[in-house]
Structure 1
């Protein structure tokens, strides 16, 4: 499957950089990449693929190989993009600035008063990366490992390489998401590049309107990302009340639907927001109840995939969060909808089952 990406972003998360070298997102071989996207699929015990069967399989694409395909490498291995990227932090932690945050910490601690946001941010005086993900209790502070709790459900991750001059803007975005930071290092010479991040690690966050913020960020190679963030005082559905009308397109959303207060698909405006009920890849199918990833996809001429960390549930209307969107050429199948009908479209790489309200 060939995909052309022109990227947008909505995210909160992770940056990394090496003194005197290129601190960047890495592919499975440790090569620098401008960005990548990982979709970890749920564990399916009846699937013949051993990685899918054990809950350690993932689809991968990046700017240099825009073919969304199933990786042959386990997420437990250090020979895959996520591990290669994070290894820079473990190896260079005394030379770089970095922040790790997660509302569900590796030690099982949870903090519902902070933003529902997960990521790693790292940089030096030249470049850095931001890894935004949906994985609870990840990553560990000192070495790479894939958590046992993350094998069962689907997860999503996006990594983008930035010049260090972009970190101040990212730090300002993090004031809205109010992340629960569990590990960080800000050397004085690097912290001067990002004064907003100095405040974030001390708990600084927005306390007056506006309660949301959108910025355009450009990757190391000049790829545009659009980043949406909201604070808990926004008190609205990020997807329906802001993103869809702002992009002037309907959205198909895949978010965690197993909790209380699930928001139904909303077909009451010019830009519908529809809950996905099933994902279908060439190698595996699964329902949204098995998926912890956070993503949204447009179904108009503006073809965008959004990756982030907020669910469509009532409780998270009042939680800080962000979403990352990627503009992409994509084709999908919608065999079932939540508003009263069924629609089927041809697809090359992924099928989506949507649910419409009665």
Structure 2
């Protein structure tokens, strides 16, 4: 796999990678072919935020019933802003780092992808699914919410194996209404611990650094470890730059340094925090050496577990980062604001 050498187009450019990918959406729904359908979903839709009964997830699916389609998972709030080739990228996306992954699947696989969207209680804010498409896709558009933990194997149109993972929700005891990271059972809702157990590997995780009740690395003895990434780095053409997780809204994980699975990579929906453990969410995972190496190469600093000889168990919850105060914009990033209001009647 080779990375692109042509970086002269901005991400919001109509002729860029995202612009070309989204071209089928820029048509009026009345002009779309009868065998074409799409769903755009997001807990932070343009103009409103979904109730927390829906999943903390962002993405879109579009497919042609007679051939293939794409599943685009991302971390960007309010995207696509409008089905307009000149205004599809929200200005809020210019502030923080984000992730996008786009995979082509044959139409038959969208039955399972629809099931995954139901399992993560995806919130659809725009859609056009013909009546003869997979029932699971139609159910998504009707905002059927019956989330459940589930793992499914998928195969891309090119034959690459993927695995969709929908996590379970942590149900806080009624006596523990206060939002404190003290219940050891909270990790039942940690997507990344679910991934670590599914693949029998430690994982290193990048998630939003301003998350309310952000959790520390998971370091239980004789368990799979979930290690938070503190800082990332990249060469953007003018030398290496670094930024910490309070500037990075992306959500992904890779296998740990001493894991038997060296090349695992997952692009995910949720952060590591109590309010996220309580919501549905998921990830798309695959084994790919070149892609994994690219992500390993951006890790600059880790919140490592204590030494095994220290007798320490789970690390203490992280205290709020002072960087979150100026960077936390509830209008664009309600992850670090109050609970999301219900926008079911506004989308």
- Counterparts of 1:163 and 1:99 in 2: how far apart (Å)? 16
1:256 correspondence with 2:208? yes
- Counterparts of 2:99 and 2:301 in 1: how far apart (Å)? 23
8 A Cα contact 2:229 2:302, kept in partner? no
- Normalized per residue, the structure richer in strand is 1
Q: What is the Cα deviation at residue 336 of structure 1?
A: 4.9
1:297 correspondence with 2:228? no
1:111-190 paired onto structure 2 within 5 Å: 111-125=51-65, 126-144=67-85, 145-189=88-132
Q: What is the Cα deviation at residue 121 of structure 1?
A: 0.8
- Structure 1 residue ranges without an equivalent (≥5): 1-64, 342-355
| TM-score (ref. length: structure 2) | 0.73
1:172-321 paired onto structure 2 within 5 Å: 172-189=115-132, 191=133, 194-206=134-146, 211-232=148-169, 235-240=188-193, 242-268=194-220, 269-283=222-236, 284-299=241-256, 300-302=259-261, 303-321=263-281
8 A Cα contact 2:54 2:145, kept in partner? no
1:323-334 paired onto structure 2 within 5 Å: 323-329=283-289, 330=293, 331-332=296-297
Q: What is the Cα deviation at residue 69 of structure 1?
A: 6.3
Residue 276 to residue 123, structure 1, CA distance change in 2 (3 Å): same
- What RMSD over aligned residues (CA atoms) do the two structures have, in Å? 2.2
Q: What is the Cα deviation at residue 228 of structure 1?
A: 0.3
CA deviations on 1:75-100 (whole Å, 9 max, x unpaired) are: 12112211111112223742211101
CA deviations on 1:259-289 (whole Å, 9 max, x unpaired) are: 2211110111432111000001123211111
| TM-score (ref. length: structure 1) | 0.71
8 A Cα contact 1:257 1:312, kept in partner? no
- Counterparts of 2:202 and 2:155 in 1: how far apart (Å)? 25
- Counterparts of 1:327 and 1:274 in 2: how far apart (Å)? 19
- Structure 2 residue ranges without an equivalent (≥5): 172-187, 308-313, 317-347
Residue 328 to residue 70, structure 1, CA distance change in 2 (3 Å): farther
